[in-house]
Amino acid sequence: MEIFQSSGDESWETYMEEFIGMHGVITDPDANKNDPDDLVEVSLDEKGTFRFPQDCLKIIS
């Protein structure tokens, strides 16, 4: 996944801005497949694991 843009979702926080452009993998897929509005757990390469709204994520491979 790539954090390709910031999100307007209320769960998006200021510190997440610096993650834009970073890559990672979905580590808990339980939510995202069923509900596009759910937060998804993503581990960013060497930056940690966070829950993001799905409108800031895109699949890159």
Partner 1 sequence: MNISRCQVIETYDWIQGKQDAGELTHPRCRQKASEALELVHDIATGSAGNEHLTALTSLGKTLEQEGLTPECKQLGQKLSQILQENREVFQSHILTHTCPSGDCPQLTPSPCQMACPAGIDVPSYLTLIGQGRYEEAIRIIRRDNPFAWVCGLVCTHPCEFMCVRGRMDSPISIMQLKGFAAEKAISAQRYINPEQQEDNGKKVCVLGAGPGGLAGAYYLALMGYRVTVLESLPVAGGMMMVGIPRYRLPREVIDREVSMIEDLGVEIRLNTKVGRDVSIQDLKNEGFQAFLLAIGAHTSYKLGIEGEDDYQQVESAVDFLRRVNLGNHRKPGKRVAIVGGGNVAIDAARTCIRLGCESVSVLYRRSHDQMPAHKEEVIEAEEEGVGFSFLTVPSRIVGEQGKVCGIKCLRAELSEPDANGRQKPMPVEGSEHTMEVDAVIPAIGQGVDASGLEDLQEISWTKRNTISVHTSSMETHSPGYFAAGDVVTGPATIVEAIAGGKKAALAINRYFEDIPQPSMPPVPVRRRKLDFPNIPASLKMDLDRPNVEVLNTERRRITFQQVHLGLTEDKANSECKRCLRCDVCMRCGKCVQICRDQMGIDALQIGYLDFDNPGRTDLKIAAERCICCGACATNCPTGAMQMYDQDGERVLSLCGTELNRLKLEYCEYCGKVLGPRRYHDYITNRLKDISPALGNRSICIDCARKHSGQVHAETEPPNKF
Q: Which of 7, 10, 17, 20 binds partner 1 (CB under 8 A)?
A: 10
For every residue of 25-37, DSSP letters joined together read EEEETTTTTT-TT
Site size for partner 1 (CB under 8 A)? 34
Distance CA 28, CA 42 (A): 7
56 binds partner 1 per the rule CB under 8 A: no
Distance CA 56, CA 53 (A): 6
14 binds partner 1 per the rule CB under 8 A: yes
Return residues touching partner 1 (CB under 8 A): 10-11, 13-15, 23, 25, 27-39, 41, 43, 45-51, 54, 58-61
